[in-house]
Amino acid sequence: MSQDSVSIGWREWLALPELAIPAIKAKIDTGARTSSLHVDTLEARERGGRTWLYFSVSATGRRHAPRIDCVAPAIARRAVTDSGGHVTQRWFIRTPIELAGLRFEAEINLTDRRNMLFPMLLGRLALGHRFLIDPAASYRCGRPLRLKSAKPAS
């Protein structure tokens, strides 16, 4: 661990700026090797000799929440073993993450996490030596300002 490690809780808000996701709840999971992001839809398309992934994300994880449409180049499709021991093939992207005032790149796999409490899981590879995790703390880095919902015109 680095002397400059930042202390974070077991769950935090983070941002995925290149995906236009200003805030998403994430579980900080040192037991997970890779990071995962819940996607509602996912389509792989070939364009210019590369595979591009078109997907939608609900940043709050709630079923009726507004969805954010995203596009990112695929970096790989690999086997991932979940906590139940099941192996599935998942697409991976690489994108910047902003957490606790730090910005860093991470590989994230895209999957269906609709039955999980958090739409994102931040694993060991993304955490690196940047953070000290306090398992008794939640949202130590603060919550983002709530976006005002649009009111219908009168």
What domains can you pick out in the chain, each with its CATH number?
6-138 (2.40.70.10)
Q: Return the structure tokens found at 147.
A: 């976006």
Q: Per-residue pLDDT for 78 more than 90?
A: yes
pLDDT digits 0-9 by tens, 94-143: 999 999 999 999 999 999 998 888 999 999 999 999 999 999 999 998 86
Find, among 76, 41, 36, 79, the residue nearest to 58 by Cα: 41
Q: Per-residue pLDDT for 92 more than 50?
A: yes
Q: Which residue has the higher pLDDT, 59 or 11?
A: 11
CB hemisphere CA count around 65 (13 angstroms): 17
In this prediction, residue 146 carries a pLDDT of 45
Question: What is the pTM assigned to this prediction?
Answer: 0.87
Do residues 12 and 27 make contact, with C-beta atoms less than 8 angstroms apart? no
Average pLDDT in the 54-72 region? Answer: 84
